[in-house]
Amino acid sequence: FLVDGIPIRVFKNNEANGVAYPKNQPMKIYSSLWEADDWATQGGRVKIDWTNAPFSASYKSFNDVDCCSRTSIWDWVTCNANSNSWMWTTLNANQLGQLKWVQDDYMIYNYCTDFKRFPQGLPTECNHN
């Protein structure tokens, strides 16, 4: 997923390893704000500053031009393999560096490293990304 041309998240197609991949259905963007003070904020070390409430989130200038699209409200999505859709691309060396920068400097929580939350083992996709 790119924000302002910078990769912020990669979800590789690992269907061969039993990880579901959204290739035949429409995707949507969803975000939420939640109180995860005890686990998602560096293991609870960083507390929410409730004096900044109410919290809000929004999207500005959202562009999904390279996404797959429905042919009609009745038909399934179509993805053009000849397009620049994220479905058919991989990150180049520069983008991999940008992704590492985002993860190192901005990522607060990564469920694929949260052994406390998943004591029985990390989700399958964590072993293949």
For 11, 24, 35, 56, 84, the CA distances from 7, given in Å and listed in that order, are: 11, 23, 26, 23, 15
Please state the rounded mean pLDDT for residues 108-125. 89
**Exposed, middle or buried by CB within 10 Å (0-12, 13-18, 19+), for 7?**
buried
What average pLDDT does the chain have? 77
Specify the range with the lowest mean pLDDT, choosing from 7-11, 52-56, 59-63, 72-76: 72-76
pLDDT digits (tens, 9 = 90+) for 49-70: 888 888 877 777 776 655 665 5
Tell me what pLDDT residue 6 has: 87
Q: Report how far residue 19's alpha carbon sits from residue 42's, in angstroms, rounded to the nearest whole number.
A: 27
Global pTM? 0.61
pLDDT digits (tens, 9 = 90+) for 83-100: 556 666 788 999 999 999
Q: Report how far residue 93's alpha carbon sits from residue 70's, in angstroms, rounded to the nearest whole number.
A: 32
Q: Report how far residue 39's alpha carbon sits from residue 55's, in angstroms, rounded to the nearest whole number.
A: 19
Tell me what pLDDT residue 85 has: 60
Q: Report how far residue 43's alpha carbon sits from residue 111's, in angstroms, rounded to the nearest whole number.
A: 11
Please state the rounded mean pLDDT for residues 68-76. 57
Q: What is the DSSP letter of 125?
A: G
